[in-house]
Amino acid sequence: MRYIAKIAVTSIILCLYTQDADVRGQLADAPSSRQEFRKEKVLRFEFIDITKTKHKSKEFCGKVIVIDCWATWCKPCQKGLPELSEMKRKYNDKIVILGISFDKSLETIKKYLQDDDVGRGINYPVVFGPRLANFWDDVRVLPTTFLIDKEGYLRCRYRGYTPQIQIETDINKLLAEDRRG
């Protein structure tokens, strides 16, 4: 029985390790990419952040949702985090921002949020989610950011660091849309 338990634990660890192994940070000289989507894919989610607060997509109806997948070790991610915090202040209750950390451990992200200047500046919920790489899309490059419109449709994906002005341009378009159209 102990042999089977060891095999099971080894298999679980191997699966978790290989699941995270494909996620990498954007190379410094690599351009970011932007992809728009038609209103075809409504996203439903329920995340629990690192403070144990639940965040359900149905609670955010009428707001634009920004989902930012990042990690503490990713330099392009570090560049975008203060910009996302600025957007949260600027748009206040018109948008929701959720960060999904792809770090290897919960302790790493908690220490970063407590000890790092950039981490302390994050003013939106952070979910520990290294196993969420395939939740909506194949997240292989960090940062990867998703924009979800006021009705819950996935509308835009950015792979790699994307300047604040581009994300805000798309947020403004989504905020201006009539919910029926």
pLDDT of amino acid 13: 31
Residue 45 is assigned to a structural domain of this protein: yes
pTM of the model: 0.80
pLDDT of amino acid 76: 94
C-alpha 137 chain-centroid distance: 11
Round to whole Å and give the CA distance between 90 and 148: 18
CATH number at residue 17: 3.40.30.10
Tally the domains of the chain.
1
The amino acid at residue 112 is Y
Taking the CA atoms of 168, 174, 177 and 178 in sequence, report the sign of the dihedral they define. Answer: negative
Range of the domain at 117: 2-176
Residue 181 is assigned to a structural domain of this protein: no
Residue 126 is assigned to a structural domain of this protein: yes
pLDDT digits (tens, 9 = 90+) for 102-139: 999 999 999 999 999 999 999 999 999 877 766 666 78
